[in-house]
Amino acid sequence: MNAAQSQAPVFSIPVENARDFACNNLLIDDFPLSLAQTRDKSVMAKLTEQASLFFVDMIPEIKRQLDNPFVGIVAIDVPQVFDDATVDAIVGSLIAVSLTQAIMPSLPDRENNTPFSIFTASKDNSKKQDHVGIRGLSPTDVLDFHSDGAITNGKLSVPDYISIFNVFINYRDRGNFYWVPTCTIQSLSQIVEKVGLSQEYCFSLTPAVYDNGQSSVKIVDRRARAAIFTRAPDGSITTFMNGTFEGHADTGTDQAKDITTEIKGAIAANPVRYLIPQESRRLIILNNANGFHARDIFENPMEGYAVTRTYLRSASISGKVVGRIIEG
Ligand SMILES: [Fe+2]
């Protein structure tokens, strides 16, 4: 990558602040709430309200950076609060989930009904995914620049915000997360002109994979018909790019390759690019409707850990419908 790269805004929750929040809201008789309890709407509403109060000093600035079209991404570090590693991992995750909900109320996970989806990568399930030929999901794959989609009732939307919280990354070389704000892409207007606003294209979406801890991984494979560029009510352009691009929905696939190459080339060569080093206990929130993200692969797994990475991902309820599912 050879664009000029700027470090994205990184916030740190002060340790005292995190401890106060945890002691007041996350412990019952010295035991932390479980992550599963966040599916209870009244529990989550209380945690969200408390997070809005405890983290009131940082939330307005986080929102300001996220809604600045020239920035659109932030990282927030969650400090260690307790000595016990397991308790601390749960508490750290609950702090991240509560803060996320105070910033971007999220769609419930389809399977668990929690306001986040949890993904666990292990040497074992990376092997299973390799075996069924899935790319882009195990931690050692290279991800291209893309935006994330969400599916509700057969409709495909671009969630306004996405959050990713790395509970832990057991790799020595963790690389960076990258972000390119749409409005900084100089050739965008020419590309939009060529591709068209609200013109539908076909995509094979990056499959969702659920590891249920059993011998097989559950794979959800979908095809969608969606617009790459849509004019949002506020005048900004919502972008969607995910999975394998198959071409214009009505005129066939002839120009598919050229358009994808041109858009991805323009993003990769963009003079403005933000980066965030990928670290455990780091929450990343991005304005998914206004930019594209990618990340480095993880390398050199640490010895002695069966689980190589656990992360939580949330997609905001607010979003823009850009298409529909046609298969899967
Ligand atoms: Fe993504």
DSSP state letters, 41-83: HHHHHHHHHHHHHHTTTTHHHHHHHHT-TT--EEEEEPPP--S
CA of 144 to the centre of ligand 1 (A): 9
pLDDT mean over 174-192: 92
CA of 16 to the centre of ligand 1 (A): 32
Quick: pLDDT tens for 226-260.
999 999 888 888 988 888 878 777 765 556 667 77
The CA distance from 6 to 286, in Å, is: 15
CA of 27 to the centre of ligand 1 (A): 32
CA of 28 to the centre of ligand 1 (A): 35
CA of 50 to the centre of ligand 1 (A): 29
CA of 275 to the centre of ligand 1 (A): 15
- The domain that holds 29 is classified in CATH as 3.60.130.10
Quick: pLDDT tens for 11-38.
999 999 999 999 999 999 889 999 999 9
Whole-number pLDDT of residue 312: 96
**pLDDT grade, residue 265 (50/70/90)?**
confident
The CA distance from 244 to 226, in Å, is: 12
Whole-number pLDDT of residue 230: 93
Closest by CA to 151, choosing from 36, 287, 242, is: 242
The CA distance from 270 to 18, in Å, is: 37
CA of 148 to the centre of ligand 1 (A): 5
CA of 19 to the centre of ligand 1 (A): 31
CA of 34 to the centre of ligand 1 (A): 26
Could you tell me the residue range of the domain that residue 315 belongs to? 5-327
CA of 150 to the centre of ligand 1 (A): 11
CA of 219 to the centre of ligand 1 (A): 17
> Percent of the chain beyond pLDDT 90?
59
Residue 115 to residues 23, 59, 112, 163, Cα–Cα distance (Å)? 22, 19, 9, 11
| Structural domain count of the chain | 1
pLDDT above 50 for 214: no
Pairing of strands 223-227, 319-327: antiparallel
Closest by CA to 75, choosing from 129, 13, 23, is: 13
pLDDT above 80 for 138: no
**pLDDT grade, residue 275 (50/70/90)?**
very high
CA of 328 to the centre of ligand 1 (A): 20
CA of 241 to the centre of ligand 1 (A): 10
- Are the C-beta atoms of 276 and 177 separated by less than 8 Å? yes
CA of 293 to the centre of ligand 1 (A): 6
CA of 143 to the centre of ligand 1 (A): 8
